[in-house]
Amino acid sequence: MIQQPIHNLLKRCLVIGLLSTIFLMQSCRQETLLEENKIIENRQWRYADKAIFKVQVNNHQVPYNLFVNFRHTASYRYANLFVLIHQINPDKKRVTRRLEFTLAHPDGQWIGLGSGNIINYQAVVKKQFQFPANGIYYFEIEQNMRDNPLKEILDVGLTIAPFKAQ
């Protein structure tokens, strides 16, 4: 008779332990917040054609890596690309950074991965970035080269993925 209460207690402990483990695994698993690319019309990226991305942040304490993605043709004229990246926070505060990305080595060899005439390029913009608060964020990427329009850019993207310690 004493064994039945112990058996029930053990079953309860096992169930509670299992549910706790599942909950911890779910809460520790981090997912990519955004992985999106915007097509550039007619391969001509104009100053006014900002690529705009909307992101919902539910846990601002999680660190993320932010990447920009570019796809261009082998006919792109330059070895680099200057962009302005605008981050608009939920409180409407706007932070702008001007960044240069090197797309080709000095010998002219493209740095990105190519398939035929198309080159895919991805670069880290921020490592271990933590959003200041929960809410909706907007990121705008605009070209900041001298040419307007900038030719042979196919699309521009943003990836926000969980930081993973190596």
Question: Which residues are 84's β-sheet partners?
Answer: 98, 142
How would you class 84 by CB atoms within 10 Å of its CB: exposed for 0-12, middle for 13-18, buried for 19 or more? middle
Rounded Cα distance between 124 and 122, Å, is: 7
From first to last of its 166 residues, what are the pLDDT tens digits of the chain? Answer: 455 555 554 455 444 444 444 443 433 456 899 999 999 999 999 999 999 999 999 999 999 999 999 999 999 999 999 999 999 999 999 999 999 999 999 999 999 999 889 999 999 999 999 999 999 999 999 999 999 999 999 999 999 999 987 6
> What's the pLDDT at 115?
84
- Of 111, 101, 93, residue with least CA distance to 143: 101
CB proximity list for 152: less than 8 A, separation 6 or greater: 43, 72, 73, 75, 76, 77
DSSP string, 89-115: -TT--EEEEEEEEE-B-TTS-BSSEEE
Q: Would you call 31 helix, strand, or coil by DSSP?
A: coil
Three-class SS of residue 129? strand
